[in-house]
Amino acid sequence: MLRVGFIGTGIMGQPMAINLLKAGFPLMVFNRTKSRCEPLVALGAAVGRSARELAEQSDVVIAIVSDTSDVEQVLFSEGGVWHGVRQGMTFIDMSTISPRATVQFSKRLLEKGCEMLDAPVSGGERGAREKTLGIMVGGKRDVFDRCLTLFQAMGKTITYAGPSGNGQKTKLVNQVVAAINLLAVVEGLRLVRAAGLDAEPTVRAISSGAASSWMLTNLAPKILNNDFAPGFSIRLQSKDLNLVTQFIADVGGQFPGAQLVSSLFAEALRRGFGEAGNQGLINLWNEAGGQEPPMASGKV
């Protein structure tokens, strides 16, 4: 069985790592905040002193961290994965980062004979806990096939997306659709309030028809209960939409919906809502007394 090193045991990473342990994979974990490793140690995981040590003692190293710069640090800083990799290893990045940087990282790892898969996830904390994540994977097909059992231990819908970087590109398409969908939910609930409708039966009614969606089913009840705990934070949503902006600049074209949601999440971040769940986007209007918040400038 593959020996796995796991880097990043936060909101998403910890339940994903727990599911790997439950599936029987020998696991060594590393996190800059050591206390986040304790639940995994209680379940039988070992703790590495560095990312390099994980690489030295693993067949596959998985990372799920916040941004492109964090993945670069995990890989190439002093004590990083790069210094411990060897021929035949695989590094799997399950973060959401720049597709362009992903291709560069993959090429550099390959200089040492280490393959890389970019495998970002969708489904939030609940999907990570319940092993129902969507996983979009870029890289070589044979490497994907070798690692499929790992993905199956963490997710439900595992899709091979093509060459290196395509997993990240697919995830950014997902983020555009998801963020626009969330804005639709927020706008609908604001209209419910403005019209004086009873919110719960209204949401139940529209959830049974063409307006039904993951965002409506999972986040509308949280908004109605003023529950803004993060399954996926506004800060990370805004980060992903910044990646979308860069991606669209590379591919070209007009994407007004992406421009709108990117501006709104940037404004939510500016107002200090960054650590709230992304359903907290509605607080832009709650704070503004129902008035339209100012839009950030820039074209997408």
Secondary structure letter of residue 83 according to DSSP: G
pLDDT(288) > 80: no
Q: What is the pLDDT of residue 163?
A: 98
At the topology level of CATH, where does 169-287 sit? N-(1-d-carboxylethyl)-l-norvaline Dehydrogenase; domain 2 (1.10.1040)
As a whole number of angstroms, the distance between CA 55 and CA 240 comes to: 27
Strand 46-47 and strand 27-30: pairing?
Answer: parallel
Query: Among residues 171, 222, 239, 299, which one is catalytic?
Result: 171
* Residues 85, 66: Cα–Cα separation, whole Å: 22
Nearest-angstrom CA–CA distance, 267 and 288: 12
Among this protein's residues, is 171 annotated catalytic?
A: yes
CA angle 78, 232, 293 (to 5 degrees): 115
Residue-wise pLDDT for 115-157, tens only, equals 999 999 999 999 999 999 999 999 999 999 999 999 999 999 9
Note the CATH number of domain 4-164: 3.40.50.720
Q: Work out the angle between the directed axes of helices 99-110 and 166-195 (0-180°, nearest 10).
A: 150
* pLDDT at res. 51: 96
* pLDDT 10s digits, 23-34: 999 999 999 888
Q: What is the pLDDT of residues 149-192, one digit of tens each?
A: 999 999 999 999 999 999 999 999 999 999 999 999 999 999 99
Q: Could you state, in order of their start, the residue ranges of all structural domains in the chain?
A: 4-164, 169-287
pLDDT for 287: 62
Q: Looking at the predicted structure, is the pLDDT value of residue 292 above 60?
A: no
* pLDDT > 60? residue 293: no
How many residues in total does the chain contain? 300
Query: Please, what is the average pLDDT of the chain?
Result: 94
Strand partners, 260: none
Q: How confident is the model at residue 259 (pLDDT cuts 50, 70, 90)?
A: very high
